[in-house]
Structure 1
Amino acid sequence: MPDQQSTLRAQRRAETQRAIQAHAVRLFTERGYDATTVNDVAEAAGVSPMTVYRHFPTKEDLVLIDQHAQLVADRIAASPANQPLVRRIGGALIESTAALTGGRGDGLSASGQFLLARLRLMISTPALRAKHLDNNYALQQAIVTALGDDTDPDAVFHAHAAASACLAAMHTALVRWAEDDGLSELPDLVAKALTAAFGDDAVRDRPDAR
């Protein structure tokens, strides 16, 4: 019973967080990031400002916090350990963006549309662009942890280098996707960016690669 109660509390917390963030992104998009206060977000979401801060410690977090790191980490952990680092990381990035946007040829899912709105805000708002670097570092750490070998300093160094390079390629794809208003397939753009940076071997095993 305690486990079930913990699960329900976690679900309610996640639902509250999603609702607050959805209202925040909507208001930031409609009114502008700088013109919208945390109190405005709290009022729209029907919660107190303290509740907003409990879920999102800073105003920037209302746009930047997401579950992408866990999604990528789970896919890396499930990938064959004998594959090259770049292919393991790149494959996870492609798969996670497909999950977030609805895949290829299916149109943007609701989560994909939400990702696009958040991305537009990140690109257009200086304060968010700066904070985005912290988010990227957290994602890089999650990738390195998921790769698993934390006992060999050289292996950790190689993992950090590969993760950083793959994330730079993905960032290029994300900016292009936002500029294209989400009309391109984001997984394809990520694959193309990885191929441009590392060659065909980076995504060679992708079953739907073009």
Structure 2
Amino acid sequence: MTRPVSRRPGRPSVLDSRAVAAGALRLWTERGFATTSWQDLADATGISTRTLLRHFATRSDIAWIGVAPATGRLREALAGAAEDAPVAGVVRAAIVESVSRDPRIHELAPDWLRLISSEPELAATAPAVYQPWIETLAGYLSRRRPTAPAAIGRAIATAYQAATFAALIEWAEAGAVGDCAESVDRMLCWLETHTP
């Protein structure tokens, strides 16, 4: 049974978006994404429907809440890399850094990964959601390889995003044992080693 997130009486001044996402994910795991209403989400999270709608335009926005912070971590890691460091190593390290090591997130990650990979509405929004992550990486690649066509940078960044997602799905399907960031690192090492 899904328990509501505890809150003080009255209107919250700051919405704990991670708590909302955790409550929503538990509910979606139990009942399914398509059959869960905004009122169901309000009951599960302890946040009014009106407040939820003020912060999230769609239910998909709740489901994808972790991608923007991951993009921020990727951006910071790339910005902090030495300009003369090998590109492949910087990219791999930055992508691994973009994967959260927060134990609370790891606990929810397998259910989240199953949800976003199986729910048609979420799968349809995935390309737009991941675009800032891809553009961040493509921008770095273009700066480091200015003679390469911009389309090549975007294609390589898209391939890295697909490999990262595949590693996360494989980690979840294998029982979510160990650190998912390490699973991503192994996948990207393999990709580097086997790319001509």
Matched with 1:114 is: 108
What do the CA deviations read for 1:149-194 (whole angstroms, capped 9, x no partner)? Answer: 39x5846444323321211211110110110121143223212222
Alignment of 1:58-207 (within 5 A): 58-66=58-66, 67-97=69-99, 100-101=100-101, 109-145=103-139, 149=143, 154=148, 156-199=150-193
What do the CA deviations read for 1:11-55 (whole angstroms, capped 9, x no partner)? Answer: x87643222212111110111112211221123223232321232
Change (3 A) 1:26 1:153: farther
CA positional deviation for 1:143:
2.7
Does the Cα contact within 8 Å between 1:74 and 1:146 map onto a contact in 2?
no
Matched with 1:32 is: 32
User: What residue identity is the alignment partner of 1:16?
Assistant: D
> Which ranges of structure 1 fall in alignment gaps of 5 or more residues?
1-11, 103-108, 202-210
Moved more, 117-126 or 180-189: 180-189
Does the Cα contact within 8 Å between 2:138 and 2:156 map onto a contact in 1?
no
* Cα distance in 2, alignment partners of residues 74 and 149 from structure 1: 15
Residues matched between the structures, number: 181
Q: TM-score, normalised by structure 2?
A: 0.78
Structure 2 SS opposite 1:101:
coil
Change (3 A) 1:14 1:112: farther
> Which ranges of structure 2 fall in alignment gaps of 5 or more residues?
1-11
Aligned Cα root-mean-square deviation (Å)? 2.7
Does the Cα contact within 8 Å between 2:78 and 2:91 map onto a contact in 1?
yes
* Cα distance in 2, alignment partners of residues 13 and 138 from structure 1: 28
Q: TM-score, normalised by structure 1?
A: 0.74
Matched with 1:7 is: none
* Cα distance in 2, alignment partners of residues 73 and 95 from structure 1: 10
